[in-house]
Amino acid sequence: MNTDLIKVVNVDYIKDYIVDLKYSNGEKKRVDFFPLLKSGKKQELLNKNNFILFGLNHWTLEWYNGVDFAPDFLYQQGVSVS
């Protein structure tokens, strides 16, 4: 599947560092961010009070401190959910 133009269109916080992301292709994937937060500014998000301070920009999930991940990367990291 070509994910070059995929966008995150909705996000639901589940628990801990886990969110469900809905993509512009209609698919929904569950992503555990814990293993992705090991370096740089991402480490600030290991504090759960910081982790929950996210929103959607025009193409992906973004945190208060400017951290974001490419939507195609998140798509590949995620596990399909119904």
The model's confidence at residue 2, banded by pLDDT at 50, 70 and 90, is: low
Q: Which fold has domain 8-80?
A: NE0471 N-terminal domain-like (3.30.2020)
pTM: 0.91
Nearest to 42, CA basis, from 72, 64, 20: 64
The helix/strand/coil state of 6 is coil
Q: Residue ranges of the domains in the chain?
A: 8-80
Q: Which has the higher per-residue pLDDT, 1 or 55? A: 55
Helix (H, G, I), strand (E, B) or coil at 70: coil
Q: Is the pLDDT of residue 3 over 60?
A: no
Q: What is the mean pLDDT of residues 34-50?
A: 96
